[in-house]
Amino acid sequence: MNLLKSTGTFGFFTLISRILGYLRDILIAIFLGTGVLADAFFVAFRIPNTFRRLFSEGTFNAAFVPSYTSEIVKGKKSSNKFANDIFNLLFLGLFFLLLVVQIFMPAFVSIIAPGFVDDNEKMELAINLTRITFPFLFFICLASFFSAILNSHNKFGVASVAPMILNIVLIGILLFSKTLGDELVYYLSYGVSLSGFFQLIFLSRFVRKYYSFKFNFKIKVNEKVKFFFKKLLPSVFSSGVTQINILVGTIIASFQASAVSYLYYADRIYQINLAIAGIAIGVVILPQLSKHVKAKRKDKISLIQNKALELSLLLSLPAAAALLIGSEEIISALFGYGSFDELSVFNSSKALYYFALGLPAFSLIKVFSSFFFANHDTKIPFYISLISVLVNIVISISYFNEIGFIIIPIATTISSWLNAFLLFIFLKNKNLFSFNNIFLINLIKISGASILMALFFNFLISYFQKELAFDQNIKSFYLILTVVLSLLFYLIISYLIKAFKMNDFKLKY
């Protein structure tokens, strides 16, 4: 496996999906803005979408891939039996979860958005929309199971293409939104669940080469299956801690008008970089790292870990710097149209600024967690994530009444840096990770290139200040130009000072 090539493949399609997601969100911003309809839809969409991120963006992989990889070595019959046992139990569990939540949906939405309880209109709308979107969870979790099988065989392209389907379906609905009026949120909600079904069908066609699934609900739960499900909950919680923190933030933000929407739009921006700098790298390294851990190849393990860490920082540090410098211009250029007014831009950009401070930490959590998962250890990341979430909740609740929704991205960032730091300490203490001789030198080079890029980006933001103003119609063009020029500048500087080398693209891991 080539780490850069595989990450590039996964990252490229994930980036395309994120761009489509941006097009989807700008259309939502234009037609829904940050009002009652938007808040209700984002709550209904946030719930299944959070579970999508928890399961499909590496977290299901964390429990499944190491165990499934061990079965692949024994032969297709053994791996197929293990996969079938997991699939059938997963199918049954998800089906009953879907049934129970649909029955108790009012109570469920009250927990997720307690701030809606006193607003009957908003609450009823959120309940109706969540009933429609929730089946997406059933389809997407099964689709994530198929993705994990493909990833185990180092087939990352198809798995990273599947999420585009959600955005394509919703964009299609939004293009006809002028004729739908207030019914738009219902059509979007149906589109969410329908896209989950399409993703499941799409992936099932490609997974047949490696896995033949069949329904068999007379399952004997053997030790391998027990071991997998023991790992699953901790791995979902620990690898998806950033998403859980965001969900916690959504719950608290529901007590302030439009705050759910502000956080949603800010979240969409930094997730573009996180998809590559954290999620893609974590997903790509896990199968190969698991094999090397099982074979006890210490030199290969160290090489993959250090290169993964370097690549994560190479991508996340300059992105964090750019978001800190141009948060308001970025939000304005991407979403500042139609119903999305200047107040919405200002508040969303404030949230983005504080999320940006935590972006490197969000990425490091994904990478460090993968080091534990490859060693079949999901407990330590779980306990650390639990501490992180509790810290997030305490900070958010303690200061929410005083400073409002902006405490949520601040608390998320603080708790995420704590999470990343504790993961690193435990990795070192358990001798599961060590820096190689050139890591520190490369870190200095990456940091230097990021600082120079930040200065160049700041110059361009100032130079195009008039063109990036809120009332300019083509401000998105100047933002794209600024980002592209800054990216090229960063890559050239990084290459000249050898923060990365062309040989890295050819190196096999």
- The pLDDT value recorded for residue 420 is 93
CB within 8 Å of 275: residues ≥ 6 apart: 11, 14, 15, 17, 18, 57
For residue 426, report the phi and psi dihedrals to the nearest 5 degrees: -70, -35
Distance CA 398, CA 403 (A): 10
Q: Which of 135, 145, 150 is nearest to 191 (CA)?
A: 135
CB within 8 Å of 311: residues ≥ 6 apart: 3, 4, 7, 277, 281
Pair 272, 57: CB distance under 8 Å: no
CB within 8 Å of 401: residues ≥ 6 apart: none
Residue 99 in tokens: 């049934």
Residue 433 in tokens: 């990770």
Residue 108 in tokens: 């469920």
What is the Cα 49 distance to its own chain's centre?
A: 10
- Tracing tokens 């490696």 back to the chain, one arrives at 210
- The pLDDT value recorded for residue 5 is 62
CA dihedral of residues 456, 457, 462, 467 (deg, nearest 10): 130
Helices 298-335 and 342-374 meet at what angle, rounded to 10?
Answer: 170
Distance CA 42, CA 265 (A): 10
- Tracing tokens 């185990």 back to the chain, one arrives at 152
pLDDT tens digits in sequence order for the chain, 509 residues long: 555 566 666 667 777 877 787 788 778 777 776 567 777 787 787 777 766 666 655 566 667 777 787 777 777 788 888 888 888 888 888 899 899 989 998 888 887 777 777 778 878 888 888 899 989 989 988 888 888 888 777 777 787 788 889 889 988 888 876 666 667 888 889 999 999 999 999 998 888 888 877 777 676 677 777 777 777 777 666 666 666 777 777 777 777 777 777 887 888 787 776 766 556 676 677 677 777 777 788 888 888 888 888 888 888 899 999 999 999 999 998 888 777 788 888 999 999 999 999 989 988 988 888 888 888 787 888 889 889 889 988 998 899 888 888 999 999 999 999 999 999 999 999 988 888 888 889 999 999 999 999 999 999 999 999 999 988 888 989 998 999 999 999 989 998 988 776 565 555 55
Pair 146, 207: CB distance under 8 Å: yes
- The pLDDT value recorded for residue 197 is 94
Pair 228, 64: CB distance under 8 Å: yes
What is the pTM (predicted TM-score) of this model? 0.75
CB within 8 Å of 78: residues ≥ 6 apart: 71
- The pLDDT value recorded for residue 74 is 77
CB atoms within 10 A of CB 477: 14
